[in-house]
Structures are given as C-alpha cells and as structure tokens.
Amino acid sequence: MGDGFSLHERLAADTAPVAELTLCSLRLMKDARFPWAILIPRRADIREIHQMTQADQRQLLAEITKVSAAIERDWRADKMNVAALGNMVPQLHIHVIARFEGDAAWPGPVWGAGSTEFYGEQALAETIARLNAALRAA
C-alpha cells in the first residue's frame, strides 16, 4: 500500500470487504438483487486498465477470471458480466456480476436499472462467506 493507494469513498460506501487478493481488493456490491463483486487494484491514480504495467494487467486478468469462474460455478449463473466503466468513480474498478435469465435487469445491464435492494446484516455476512468459500474452492 506504500504507493499512496486508498479506496475511493464512493466504492467504500457502496461495497463491503470480502478479501485482499495479490493485486486487488475484492469487495461485494451492497445490492442483494445480483451476486456482484468489485475488484479494485491497489494502485494509486489509475483509471484505465491500459495505464497499468503489463505485469499488473496480467495479474488483474488472473484475478478477474478466478473470481468470475468461482461465482459462475457457485451461483450457477447463466452469464457473467465483466466491465470496467468508471464514469462516476475515478478509480479503476472492475465489475464481475452473475446474471440470470429473468433477473431484475435481464437482459439489460445492471447499472441504472431499478433500485438497489440492500442486504440485511445476516444475508450480507452469508454472501461474503459464500464468495470466500467459492474462491477457496476455485
């Protein structure tokens, strides 16, 4: 963390911590409608994937594919959505979202669709535990 990285306050507010991976902080979006992970590389002042070193890009890719495959398998997702948008939050973060036919935004994108449904305290803890277990099994 010595290079000045600190989590953007908007990401800190909208997500809950799950695990610290080699490059990224893995967090869970606080929206119970979708199994929705966020990966944030712990690098300061990076807004685009192509601004990262090649080594960091490869590590990011490895973490994206590991998280995506783990969620797909454990939640039996119909489709994974993987996206780096960042129009609102100027800190690189990658969305990894399990989608299901007939979910609250299907087949459209999740961003801007309907209203957030917050987890209850126990459901949030259980979902974080489930995501960690899925990653360990990956």
**Residues that bind a second copy in the complex, under the rule CB under 8 A:** 47-50, 57-58, 61, 64-66, 68-69, 72, 79-88, 99, 106-109, 111-112
Query: Which among 44, 12, 41, 42 has a CA at the least distance from the CA of 28?
Result: 12
Tell me the closest approach of the beta carbon of residue 59 to a second copy, in angstroms: 11
The rounded Cα 113 to chain-centroid distance in angstroms is 17
Shorter beta-carbon distance to a second copy: residue 19 or 78: 78
Nearer to a second copy, 45 or 126 (CB): 45
Phi, psi of 79 (to 5 degrees): -155, 145
Cβ proximity to a second copy: between 79 and 116 the closer is 79
CB of 134 to a second copy, least distance (A): 13
For residues 118 and 30, the answer to whether their CB atoms sit within 8 Å is yes
Query: Between 7 and 138, whose beta carbon lies closer to a second copy?
Result: 138
* Shortest Å, Cβ 61 to a second copy: 5
15 backbone dihedrals φ, ψ, rounded to 5°:
-130, 165
Q: How far is the CB of 111 from a second copy (least distance, A)?
A: 5
Give buried/exposed letters for 20-29 (b at 16+ CB in 10 A, else e): ebebbbbbbb
Contact, 60 vs 39, CB < 8 A?
yes
Specify the residue, 44 or 85, whose C-beta has the smaller distance to a second copy.
85
CB of 38 to a second copy, least distance (A): 14
